[in-house]
Structure 1
Amino acid sequence: MFETLKSAWHVPELRKKLIYTAFIILLFRIGSSIPVPYIDITALAQYFDSVSNTMLGFMNVFAGGGLSNATIFAMSVTPYINASIIIQLLTVAIPALERMVRDGGEEGRKKLSAITRYLGVALGLLQGYSYYVLLRSNSLIEYTDFWHGLVIVLTFTAGTALIMWMGELITKNGVGNGISILLFAGIVSRGPAMVSSLVEMIRGGLSWVVAALVVLVSLAIIVFVVFISDAERRIPIQYAKRVVGRKMYGGQSTHLPIKVNASGVMPIIFAASIMSLPATIKMMVNPQAGSLSDTIFNWFSSNHPVYIVLYILLIFMFSYFYAAIQFNPIEIANNLKKNGGFIPGFRPGRPTSDFITKALGKVTFLGAIFLSIVAGIPLIVGALNSSLSSVALGGTSVLIVVGVALETVRQLESQLMMRNYKGFLE
């Protein structure tokens, strides 16, 4: 990875992209340190210390500490991710949106991106209002009249819109996927705080053996993620010989690669975003302690068994959803048939598509199990030992950070290859 960054730095065009990306990340971190006016930051920090083991604390990790400091970027990328989930599901369910993507070309994709942005701003407004209700109900706001509340909510919403714009700027002019890069920056910024909390727990009496075990598990997760990210199932493909004019084509063997974790970190991000909705609703409703609604909302705390089970089920669902979007077995089988290709042991057409579908299902199942292990085990550890909850929440964070880093490095490597490939003329 460091060699790739070093090589990219020596290419003027890539160096400009890297500097541009770093500049946007710097602006994002500055915005994540600017507090919204009229909020008691000291009392808010104490409040978040008391809810660090809940879903609210998990959302704070995704926001890079923005929620606990009530900054202008407190909503982070969560509204945009939720909007992307909704639009992608509606694209499958609504024929008009599906035609827009399939037949509209670049113009259709631009329209769909605009719809996603508008929905993201609307969800940012809803989430900002929910957070304002939470602050007001806990007496964390200096002024509770309408106009001061309007300023606070609109500031949160404007921060959401600004984050989406910055993410698109990185995607267009920088390196990697902009929203993923900003999510990566927010999570990494919480790394020192997590290390500090582990040190404080050691000073407070936590066994060195347990602390070392946590560190070793974290390193093992990183190695496991890197290994599985490169794993793939290779389906052999043979092309028949055919004569065109005086030349003979085909006859070679190749393979169709199906990655074990083809969807990357997106199922984790989408599942975590959806599981954050009950916490958002709880902030808006603010149920009375001990009531039935409060009990139900507590089921969606990150250390509750109901939350862990639903979280893993959503990871499986989005893994298969992304596999269905990325691979169309019928289209692959038709393309092989047109080009004289076939899978040894299977007839072209329907038998080939059925075999690819079956193989894709098995590989996707293994990928979903991998994501569930990496994201679920740290949560289970946090549920069994509440003192490790703040550290255990880093399991999903590690997966996202490693996944985004690997994907960004791959994009850099592909761009380096394009610029260094001399071609057959030289």
Structure 2
Amino acid sequence: MKKLFTTLSNIWKIEDLRVRILNTLLFLLIYRVGSFIVLPGVSAAALDNQQAREGILGLLNMFAGGSFARASIFALGVMPYISASIVVQLLGIAVPYFQKMQKEGDSGRKKLTQLTRYLTVGITLLQAIGYVRTQITPEARLLAEPLFTISSMVILTAGTLFVMWLGEKITDKGIGNGISLIIMIGIIAQLPGAFITEFDSRLNGLGGIIPFLVELAALFFVIIFTILVVQGVRRIPVQYAKKIVGNKQYGGVRQYIPLKVNAAGVMPIIFAQALMFIPSTLGQFFPAAQGPVLASLSNYTSVAYNLTFAILIIAFTFFYTAITVNPVQMSDDMKKNGGFIPGIKPGKATGEYIDGVISKITLPGSIFLAMIAILPSFAIILGVNSNFAHFYGGTSLLILVGVVLDTLQQIESHLLMRHYDGLMKTGRLKGRTPIAADTGASGSVI
């Protein structure tokens, strides 16, 4: 306990870190307040939001922090922005023009960011139409058509853009990744209600307190397993040649490149989940054309949904790892600094060796991610309440674990740079890339 208070005191002493944390809390508070502001022209008392709390729409409601079911101005959350990011990154692989733009440095990234924003507007407008048509019943509408639909589309689009802006501000002036934190805070907001609902259902006849305690124990072990997957690393030894400058010796030490088993972070889960929302979105626009295949892909407990979801996660894990970890650049950086992997020739052979190691550890890492992602479906089959089951793995738990660990690592970096003890008594959080051995292997979370 004394260690905890000492760490909190050290955090408060660092002005830059203190300001960043306060800014982050302020921006998140603004987001949570906005999530309770109902769309103009909607009667909150007349809303029939039961459908929005179940199935795949319930998952979307969780990501939006409950805004989806409340018909809030932030009802669509940041998912349109995530979808736009997926499209732009896929274009960066398939279209030479966008590949060239990615290689232009800061100017190219600014152009891609601007394109992502424009695409977000288009996707949000389309989703707003489906949302107004399917989620807001005629009894809840206080304005006549077409004024209600047009005004709601504009406000929902503006709300998504404002949330996107809040996320960018958190990244720039706060601590952690803004978009990730916004999604995480929405998920955490649903946890107390889901916990109480599950406790009440068990206490009132569905097995009693013992099954509930078993569920909590299972949840604990799932969280531990998730942390192991997120934090797991494969260390590659790097030897640096000795240099004699005057009377001093430099180099001659062995360091390690920590390659993460899950170098892509939570991005594969978010990307795959965004694509899995497409069938339900199509079902909103064309209810009459919803066949058995579309209905199965809209049911997150079906075999088709979970199999497709798992395959997408594995594919996106390889894809995102390939664009964030560059073995050739790592090999060149080692060669410039006089480093080499024992037994491997510097240059091309080193790059091929690192690429082979990454491929070998990414496959089991992606399979573990897929296993964790589909665990909620098994929890529901075993009788766990659907809202509480979302925390037994799946996108929700992976985002929570990944974002919390990433934010803690950033806080620890601020402490260590100013010669304070880290958050853990034994030093750096396990899995963090040591500064001296940073050769471009660090991954990114949204």
Normalising by structure 1, we get a TM-score of 0.89
Find 2:308's aligned residue among 276, 285, 310: 310
Percent of aligned pairs sharing the same letter? 38
C-alpha displacement of 1:192: 1.3
How far did 1:160 drift? 0.4
| 1:392 corresponds to 2:394 | no
Whether the 8 Å contact between 1:242 and 1:248 is mirrored in structure 2 is yes
Question: 2:374 is matched by which residue type in structure 1?
Answer: G
Q: Residue type matched to 1:282 in 2?
A: G
2:440 counterpart residue number: none
How far residue 414 of structure 1 moved from its aligned partner, in angstroms, is: 1.0
Residue equivalent to 2:441? none
State the distance in 2 between where 1:109 and 1:171 align: 16
> What is the match of residue 169 of structure 1?
169
Q: 1:404 to 1:292 in 2, by over 3 A?
A: closer
Larger deviation: 175-184 or 238-247? 238-247
SS at 1:167's partner residue? helix
Q: Give the aligned CA root-mean-square deviation in angstroms.
A: 2.5
Provide the rounded CA distance (Å) in 1 between the counterparts of 2:404 and 2:9.
15
- Of 1, 21, 37 in structure 1, the residue corresponding to residue 40 of structure 2 is 37
Aligned position for 2:433:
none
User: Map of 1:263-412 to 2, 5 A cutoff?
Assistant: 263-285=264-286, 287-288=287-288, 293=291, 296-382=294-380, 384-385=381-382, 388-394=385-391, 395-396=393-394, 397-412=396-411
In 2, Cα distance between equivalents of 1:280 and 1:404: 27
2:176 counterpart SS class: coil
Greater CA drift, 118-127 or 412-421:
412-421
Aligned partner letter, 1:279: S
The change in CA–CA distance for 1:295 and 1:136 in structure 2 (over 3 A counts) is farther
Matches within 5 A, 1:100-139: 100-103=101-104, 105-135=105-135
Per the TM alignment, residue 52 of structure 1 is displaced from its structure 2 partner at its CA by: 3.6
Q: Which residue in the other structure is 1:16 paired with?
A: 19
Amino acid at match of 1:316: I
Query: Are 2:66 and 2:190, in contact at CA under 8 Å, matched by a contact in 1?
Result: yes
* 1:253 Cα offset (Å): 1.9
- 1:354 to partner: Cα distance: 2.3
Q: Which amino acid aligns with 1:130?
A: G
CA distance 1:6–1:269, change in 2 (3 Å) = farther
Q: Which runs of 5+ in 1 are unaligned?
A: 422-426
Relative to structure 1, the CA distance from residue 136 to residue 194 in structure 2 (aligned partners, 3 Å threshold; closer, same or farther) is closer
Q: Is the 8 A contact 1:58 1:302 kept in 2?
A: no
Of residues 89-98 and 164-173 in structure 1, the stretch that sits farther from structure 2 once superposed is: 89-98
Deviates more, 1:170-179 or 1:276-285: 276-285
Contact 1:303 1:389 in 2 (8 A): no
Q: Relative to structure 1, is the Cα distance of residues 138 and 303 closer, same or farther in structure 2, using a 3 angstrom cutoff?
A: farther
Deviates more, 1:410-419 or 1:75-84: 410-419
Which residue does the alignment assign to 1:25?
28
Structure 1 residues 16 and 238: alpha-carbon distance in aligned structure 2, compared to 1, 3 A threshold: closer
Q: 1:295 to 1:330 in 2, by over 3 A?
A: closer
SS at match of 1:236: strand
Kept in 2: contact 1:308–1:376 (CA 8 A): yes
Q: Distance in 1 between matches of 2:406 and 2:183?
A: 14
Unaligned runs of 5+ in 2: 421-446
State the Cα distance separating 1:250 from its structure 2 match.
4.3
Calculate the TM-score normalised by the size of structure 2: 0.86
- The CA deviation at 1:380 is 2.4
Give the match's secondary structure for 2:97: helix
What is the rounded CA distance, in whole Å, between the counterparts of 1:16 and 1:342 in structure 2? Answer: 41
Bigger Cα displacement from structure 2, 216-225 vs 28-37: 216-225
* Residues in 2 aligned to 1:152 and 1:386: alpha-carbon distance in whole angstroms: 38
Contact 2:51 2:57 in 1 (8 A): no
Check whether the contact 1:315–1:368 (CA below 8 A) recurs between aligned residues: yes
1:362 counterpart SS class: helix
Change (3 A) 1:309 1:255: same
The answer to whether the 8 A contact 1:53-1:303 is kept is no
**1:424 maps to what in 2?**
none
Corresponding residue for 1:201? 201
Question: 2:70 corresponds to which residue?
Answer: 69
SS of 1:408 mapped into structure 2: helix
Is 1:330–1:353's contact at 8 Å kept on the other side of the alignment?
A: yes
Does the C-alpha gap of structure 1 residues 6 and 177 become closer, same or farther in structure 2, counting only changes over 3 Å?
A: farther
8 Å Cα contact 1:237-1:342 kept in structure 2: yes
Q: Where in structure 2 are the equivalents of 1:127-276 lying within 5 Å?
A: 127-135=127-135, 140-143=140-143, 145-208=145-208, 209-241=210-242, 250-276=251-277
Q: How many residues align?
A: 415
1:2–1:192 CA distance, 2 compared to 1 (3 A): farther
**3-state SS, counterpart of residue 291 of structure 2:** helix
Instruction: For residue 179 of structure 1, report the CA deviation from its aligned partner.
Output: 0.7
